Structure 1
Amino acid sequence: MTVLVWITEGTWQAAVDAARRHAPADTGITLLHVTGDDVAATAHGAFAGLLGRGRAGRDPGDQVRALADDAATELLAAATDRLDRDRVVRSHRHGRVEREVVHAAEDAELLVCARDGDRRRLGPHSLGPATRFVVDHAPCPVLLVWPEPAPGIESLPPAPPGPPPPDRP
């Protein structure tokens, strides 16, 4: 079995804990972090917009990318330590986050990820846009976990107006 664990800032601990709890000890686990290139590209675009007035070698896009790479390396190291398994592969990708995760899951037998939206209530808003895309397009089963205890059933939104559903046996 191959398990892919999508590591994101703010929810990575829950995803790692779920993998440790649910994947057999002899399972190969890949920890994946994806850095979106949009922030570095924006910084580079602002620098390029100076129409040559910026100094060569001082492109903030390069600096932002280097900082993001360092942060990803630290995050993957912390996740590896928390996982406490022998067979762990670290993977760091760049690009459109949601698409990179789906592509990385192509050979996985299970993808583990955590909710990253509104975690105060049950429902579709508990998933951010990238996570929603991944859940909808993953080519393998997905284990979706709450990063903290799930909200109570009373947080369900009200039922839509209309006739009541049929009685259940």
Structure 2
Amino acid sequence: MRVIVWITEGTWPVGVDAARSHAPDDADIVLLHVTPADVPGAAHGAFAGLLGRGHGERDPGTQLEHLAAASADQLLAQAAQRLGRSCARVEREVVAAAGGADLLVLARDGDRTHLGPRSLGPASRFIVDHAPCPVLLVWPEPAPGIDTIPLPPPHPPHHR
């Protein structure tokens, strides 16, 4: 069995704990982190457009890329230590990585005060909707009560 655990900054411990609890001892576990490219990209663009013509060595985007990589390495190391067993560490697109998986573990990352679709952020919603394997979706803290389910949207009366 191959299990992918999506590691994100705010919710990684619960994903690792879920994999420890639900994956068999002989499972091939992959800890996956995706480093967003938008912040370093914006810094590269701003520097090139406004400040940095001819001074690539001072590009803050490069420093942000290095900081993001170091942060990802540290996060994956902490997750691997918490898992407490052999695992691979990967940094690439989550849906593509789940292509050969038997289970994908991820934690809710949206509004966690209510049950419902808004408990997933945009990236998690995309992954849940497109994952080519079963998904174990876990709450980072105890789930809110059933009374927090949003009311259904109003529907116009049917006319025949």
**What interval of TM-score do these two structures reach, taking the shorter chain for normalisation?**
over 0.9
1:22 equivalent to 2:22? Answer: yes
Give, in angstroms, the shift of residue 72 of structure 1. Answer: 0.2
Deviations 1:42-74 (A, max 9, x none): 000000012644633111111000000000000
Contact 2:17 2:83 in 1 (8 A): yes
Q: Which residue of 2 aligns with 1:96?
A: none
Give, in angstroms, the shift of residue 158 of structure 1. Answer: 2.1
What root-mean-square deviation, in Å, do the aligned CA atoms of Structure 1 and Structure 2 show? 1.5
Number of residue pairs matched by the alignment: 156
d(CA) in 1 for partners of 2:52, 2:107? 43
Q: Among residues 132, 139, 157, which one is paired with 1:146 in the alignment?
A: 139
Deviating beyond 6 angstroms after TM superposition, the runs of 4 or more aligned structure 1 residues are none
d(CA) in 2 for partners of 1:12, 1:23? 16
Which segments of 5 or more consecutive residues in structure 1 lack a partner in the other structure?
A: 94-99, 163-169
Give, in angstroms, the shift of residue 140 of structure 1. Answer: 0.4
What's the secondary structure of 2:56's corresponding residue? coil
Letter matched to residue 87 of structure 2: V
1:156 equivalent to 2:149? Answer: yes
The structure-2 alpha-carbon separation of the partners of 1:51 and 1:159, relative to structure 1 and needing over 3 Å to count, comes to closer
Q: Which residue of 2 aligns with 1:101?
A: 94
The structure-2 alpha-carbon separation of the partners of 1:52 and 1:11, relative to structure 1 and needing over 3 Å to count, comes to closer
Contact 1:123 1:156 in 2 (8 A): yes
What's the secondary structure of 1:35's corresponding residue? coil
- Return the TM-score normalized by structure 1: 0.88
Q: Which residue of 2 aligns with 1:111?
A: 104
Contact 2:52 2:58 in 1 (8 A): no
Structure 1 range deviating more: 126-135 or 48-57 = 48-57
d(CA) in 2 for partners of 1:47, 1:160? 46
Give the percent of matched residue pairs that are identical in Structure 1 and Structure 2.
66
- Return the TM-score normalized by structure 2: 0.93
After superposition, residues 48-59 of structure 1 pair within 5 angstroms as: 48-50=48-50, 52-53=52-53, 55-59=55-59
Q: Which residue of 1 aligns with 2:158?
A: none
Deviations 1:89-133 (A, max 9, x none): 01123xxxxxx1100101111000000000000000000000000
The structure-2 alpha-carbon separation of the partners of 1:44 and 1:140, relative to structure 1 and needing over 3 Å to count, comes to same
Which segments of 5 or more consecutive residues in structure 2 lack a partner in the other structure?
A: 156-160
After superposition, residues 74-93 of structure 1 pair within 5 angstroms as: 74-85=74-85, 87-93=86-92
d(CA) in 1 for partners of 2:153, 2:89? 45
